[in-house]
Chain A
Amino acid sequence: MKLNINHKLALAAFILSVSALGVSVFSGDTSSAKNEDEPQYITVLELAEQIKNREDFLLIDLRSLSDYNQFNIPTAKHLPIAELYDFNTEMEVQLIVYAEADSLSSLAFSVLKDKGFENMLVLKGGIQDWYNRLLYPKMPLTIPEEDIEIANHVKELSAYFGGRSQFVDEGNPLEYYKSTSSNQPKIKSQLVRMGC
């Protein structure tokens, strides 16, 4: 039987996908496209507290140099993700990484973990949350009785880092400090917007 061009292409697709199947099955690769170690997080409040108390750790900013120069968290060192692969320091040092939001720092977490670092944390919500939740936190117009303590704590840290609280009339923004799972990052201008 003579194969025409379409048959040859189909055969090529077949061979490439069968070998993909083989590689996956025999290498015991149970993970899908994504295999991630769930990073351990630190909240902006905890980080602020630690900086204020001059605790011993290395804070790493993974964003681009221009972003870093424009604005960064006090004491942070700039180290882009590409250089992370060659990064070395003493293993005992407590590392804390942050980026724009969470995805890049989760990657950094797994890179560092592969390099053998154990002592590391990812700043939950990244620089976005630092800016929107710590430097310029939102407060409800009337602070509920049970939240006064947390509100004062946030206000104090915000003032320490030179920020200011804002009062807004929408829900209770203090809920954020109780659970860090939800965060709405501020939309930043960029030439490469992901998504359609």
Chain B
Amino acid sequence: MPFLSKEAEPYWNPYLSGIGLGLVLLLTFLVMGRGIGASGAMTSVVATTASVISPHTTAANDFYQGYLGDGTVSPLKDWLVFEVLGVLIGGFLSGLFAGRTRIKIEKGAAITTNRRFQYAFIGGMIMAFGTKLARGCTSGQALTGGALMNVGSWLFMISLFAGAYATAWFVRRLWV
């Protein structure tokens, strides 16, 4: 593979990448009448798994039911699930062309790999909880709702930055 041996290229200008992302979002609004998302696809996966393991409790749970529907189509045959599959492909290809797709662990210098894995896992759990409480993540709420001037999305976005800045100092050893 010629790509893998090459030096990692510098990242693109964040504003230009942002315009690209904004145009993708705009196209989604125009074609679909909805925005982009990420956490919804993960929820579909979880709801499907839960329904396989214990169909009775999931059937009584409104939260899962919202993702499972009435059972006439597979809950994994869903717009967001396909979109997130695309994200995996797009991220992989972009990284490959720029010499950045390789097995790695990203962490601050001061912590061990195990520690980093534990924090990545715990951070993911906390984040997922916040996402579900707020009905969306940085993609589904902040980006999509931000562009649509959705009041709830702007509140979410401001709280998100507040929460992260307030915590940053306490976990600085993870990163700096």
Chains A and B directly touch (beta carbon < 8 Å) = yes
Which of these, A5, A33, A188, A191, contacts B70 with CB under 8 Å? A188
**Would you call A6 an interface residue if the criterion is a C-beta within 8 Å of the partner chain's C-beta atoms?**
yes
- Which residues of B (20-79) have their CB < 8 Å from a CB of A? 32, 34, 37-40, 43, 65-67, 69-73, 75, 77-79
Residues of B within 8 A of A20 (CB): none
A187 and B136 contact, Cβ closer than 8 Å, known pairs A5-B13, A194-B34: no
Residues of A within 8 A of B72 (CB): 189
Residues of B within 8 A of A196 (CB): 37-40, 43, 80, 131, 135-137, 139-141
**Would you call B158 an interface residue if the criterion is a C-beta within 8 Å of the partner chain's C-beta atoms?**
no
**Would you call B19 an interface residue if the criterion is a C-beta within 8 Å of the partner chain's C-beta atoms?**
yes
Interface size on B, residues (CB 8 A): 33
**Would you call B165 an interface residue if the criterion is a C-beta within 8 Å of the partner chain's C-beta atoms?**
no
Q: Check A192 against B139 for contact (C-beta < 8 Å).
A: no
Task: Considering the complex, give the chain A residue whose CB is closest to the CB of B38.
Answer: A196
Proximity bits, B1-22, A CB within 8 Å = 1, else 0: 0000000000001011001000
Q: Check A190 against B69 for contact (C-beta < 8 Å).
A: yes
Q: Check A9 against B79 for contact (C-beta < 8 Å).
A: no
- Which residues of A (169-196) have their CB < 8 Å from a CB of B? 186-196
Minimum CB–CB distance for B157 against chain A, Å: 14
Q: Check B69 against A189 for contact (C-beta < 8 Å).
A: yes
Q: Check B34 against A192 for contact (C-beta < 8 Å).
A: yes
Residues of B within 8 A of A188 (CB): 69-70
**Would you call B149 an interface residue if the criterion is a C-beta within 8 Å of the partner chain's C-beta atoms?**
yes
Which of these, A9, A33, A186, A189, contacts B73 with CB under 8 Å? A189
How many A-B contacts at CB < 8 Å in the complex?
60
A193 and B135 contact, Cβ closer than 8 Å, known pairs A6-B15, A187-B66, A187-B69: no
Minimum CB–CB distance for A20 against chain B, Å: 12
Distance A120 CA – B173 CA, assembled complex (angstroms): 65
Q: Check A192 against B32 for contact (C-beta < 8 Å).
A: yes
A6 and B137 contact, Cβ closer than 8 Å, known pairs A189-B69, A194-B34: no
Task: Considering the complex, give the chain B residue whose CB is closest to the CB of A186.
Answer: B70
Proximity bits, A1-43, B CB within 8 Å = 1, else 0: 0000110010000000000000000000000010000000000
Which of these, A5, A6, A189, A192, contacts B79 with CB under 8 Å? A192
- Which residues of A (141-174) have their CB < 8 Å from a CB of B? none
Distance A189 CA – B47 CA, assembled complex (angstroms): 14
Residue in B67, B70, B131, B136 whose Cβ sees the most chain A Cβ within 10 Å: B70
| Contacts from A to B (Cβ < 8 Å) | 5-6, 9, 33, 186-196
27 A-B pairs (CB sep. < 8 Å): A5-B16, A6-B13, A6-B15, A9-B15, A187-B66, A189-B71, A189-B72, A189-B73, A190-B69, A191-B73, A191-B77, A192-B78, A193-B66, A193-B78, A193-B80, A195-B37, A195-B40, A195-B140, A196-B37, A196-B39, A196-B40, A196-B43, A196-B80, A196-B135, A196-B136, A196-B137, A196-B139
**Interface contacts beyond A33-B148, A195-B136: sample of 20 additional A-B pairs, CB < 8 Å, sorted by A:** A6-B15, A9-B16, A187-B66, A188-B69, A189-B69, A189-B72, A190-B69, A192-B32, A192-B78, A192-B79, A193-B66, A193-B67, A193-B78, A194-B34, A195-B37, A196-B39, A196-B80, A196-B136, A196-B140, A196-B141
> 10 closest pairs, A vs B, by CB?
A196-B140, A189-B69, A196-B136, A196-B40, A196-B37, A192-B79, A189-B72, A189-B73, A189-B70, A194-B34
